[in-house]
């Protein structure tokens, strides 16, 4: 299991990591990824995803899908799905949402509170852990597939 961590000094640094991941997907991997995001409320999961969504070419607002469970971004060459499963009552609900149709070679899924969807989600390529250190955060990436290992190898820091 490959791991990689470093410190994020502020919100801007967290957004920049999301943008960096988008560049790696577009120019190096050239295929979609599945990312699980772990961390307490306010740790920066949505902030990082915002950077990714913008890096993939979305212009405009990125809202937290706390009540809608998923926010889709249909971009020119890619689909990005931002899940927040905090309020998911039952993993079965994902079945009714047509969760299977979300995962393919040109889609990227960033999933907050993935444990809430246990049994209904595909395995991640990488897991990102965000941990509080006052205003800073520590970010840890771990690879969970060959694609995830490749992604990790491109992360600069």
Query: 17: phi > 0 → left, psi -120 to 50 → alpha, else beta; which?
Result: alpha
Give the span between the Cα atoms of 101 and 98, in whole angstroms.
6
Residue 8 vs 120, nearer CB to ligand ADP:
8
- How far is 140 from 38, CA to CA, in rounded Å? 10
User: Which residues would be at the binding site for ligand ADP (CB under 6 A)?
Assistant: 8, 10-11, 13-14, 39, 41-47, 64, 112, 135-137
Q: How far apart are CA 4 and CA 106, in angstroms?
A: 25
Q: How many CB atoms lie within 10 A of CB 125?
A: 24
Subset of 56-85 contacting Mg ion (CB under 5 A): 64
- The item of Mg ion, ligand ADP, none sharing an interface with residue 42, based on CB under 5 to 8 Å by kind, is ligand ADP
Q: Does residue 142 belong to the site contacting Mg ion (CB under 5 A)? A: no
Say which entry of ligand ADP, Mg ion, none residue 125 contacts (CB below 5 to 8 A, set by partner kind): none
- Provide, rounded to whole angstroms, the least separation between the CB of residue 15 and ligand ADP: 8
């Amino acid at each position: 299991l490959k791991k990689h961590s470093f410190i994020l000094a502020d919100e801007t640094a967290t957004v920049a990591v999301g943008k960096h991941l988008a560049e790696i997907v577009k120019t190096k991997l050239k295929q979609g990824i599945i990312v699980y995001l772990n961390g307490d409320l306010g740790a920066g999961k949505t902030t990082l995803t915002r950077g990714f969504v913008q890096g993939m070419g979305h212009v405009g607002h990125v809202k937290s899908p706390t009540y809608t469970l998923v926010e889709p971004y249909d971009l020119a060459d890619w689909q990005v799905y931002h899940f927040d499963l905090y309020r998911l009552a039952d993993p079965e609900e994902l079945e009714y949402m047509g969760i299977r149709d979300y995962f393919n070679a040109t889609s990227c899924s960033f999933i907050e509170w993935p444990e809430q969807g246990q049994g209904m989600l595909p395995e991640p390529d990488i897991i990102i852990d965000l941990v509080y250190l006052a205003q800073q955060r520590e970010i840890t990436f771990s690879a969970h597939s060959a694609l995830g290992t490749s992604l990790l190898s491109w992360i600069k820091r």
